[in-house]
Chain A
Amino acid sequence: MYNRLVARFGGAACVLSFFFFLVHFSVLHAGFERFTRLRPSTSSDNADGPTEGSRDSQIGNQIARPPSTSTITRPEVIKPDHGGPNIESPTRPSPASTSISVDTTTRGSPLGSAPEDKIVVIGKLQHENTDWVAEFLPE
């Protein structure tokens, strides 16, 4: 009777010890792996590609650094020349007229009515009536 009882307790203790060992081992193993992931990267770590940390820092640099201007297709800029800015930009269908739009805005004339920038020249005899010019092309 006594022997049988000791044998049962002994068996149970062995099973529990083995189970405890398994649990303890897996916890230790997980802790070791976690330790290896958190260690700082070295140059040799990057041989097969950037780590997450180094990749993040590279992207950050790309965002922070302005792109090279040589790779940008700049819109056409037509500079105003003698006598003031070109006011014809509202009629220009091309989207490449940024600078001209600015010029027009400064004139306060979104419809292109800047009489000082275009002129009709006419030669006439004194008896010829050119009232139509003043009527349809007002100053």
Chain B
Amino acid sequence: MSNCNPFRSARTHLSRWQHAIYTVDNTSHLLHTDANKGREANAYLSYILRNYESLPSIVSFVHPHRDGYPAAWHNDASNYDNVNSLKALNIDFVQRNGYANLRCIWIPGCPDEIHPLREPPKDVDGGESTEQAMASVWPLFFAPQAVPSIIGTPCCAQFAVSRDQIRKRPLLEYVRYHDWLMKTELSDDVSGRVFEYLWHIIFGQDPI
């Protein structure tokens, strides 16, 4: 987990950020998703699709809850506070590496949360499993790359990405991801989790 504590610093304490808050269940809001589908992945992809040509140098994708347990248990910072996470974010590292997961704690997610080819798949819920979904999604997104046998990353789909890293994939690829998210019949739980374990790969990291 090369993006963890050794690379963090408080140097960005005084930095300020813009924010783009997408409401997923009310299309009358200025920024909104077209449908309430796919959890945070929908908002993240909507932002990229609409701003691909005018991205700032760093984009942090985070959840709406700020702090406290259990609501913000995803956040890996003192008091589970995402303000602290963002203040501690090492912008320099994000620029160099292209991607940084905001969570350093391995569990859940590491070292091998998803085995797309596992039989039988783990954690089947209502006839659906993230592992099975991953095996079917991978060729649609990343062919001709073979489906990896293991995917692992710190959970929870909160991360920072550089503009350059986002643009290493053409806009049409993000269109394809979003189309799949809007059309899939998988539950939001599963489709959102599929992206949760794909973001780091989409942005240039190895599956594990």
Contact = CB atoms under 8 A, between A and B. Distances in A.
Interface string B167-206: 1000000000000000000000000000000000000000
16 contacts: A81-B163, A90-B11, A91-B91, A91-B92, A112-B15, A114-B16, A121-B19, A121-B60, A123-B21, A123-B23, A123-B43, A123-B64, A124-B21, A124-B22, A124-B43, A132-B67
A92 to B, nearest CB: 5
B145 interface: no
Nearest to B46: A123
Contact of B20 (A112, A114, A121): A121
A123 B44 contact: yes
B44 A137 contact: no
Given A91-B11, A137-B19, A83 B43 contact: no
Interface in A91-133: 91-93, 111-126, 128-130, 132-133
Given A90-B11, A115-B16, A125 B86 contact: no
Contacts of B54: 83
Interface of B: 9, 11-12, 14-26, 29, 33, 36, 39-40, 42-44, 46-47, 54-67, 82-83, 86, 90-92, 95, 163-164, 167
A121 B91 contact: no
A116 B56 contact: yes
Contact of B18 (A111, A128, A130, A139): A139
A31 B36 CA distance: 107
B18 to A, nearest CB: 4
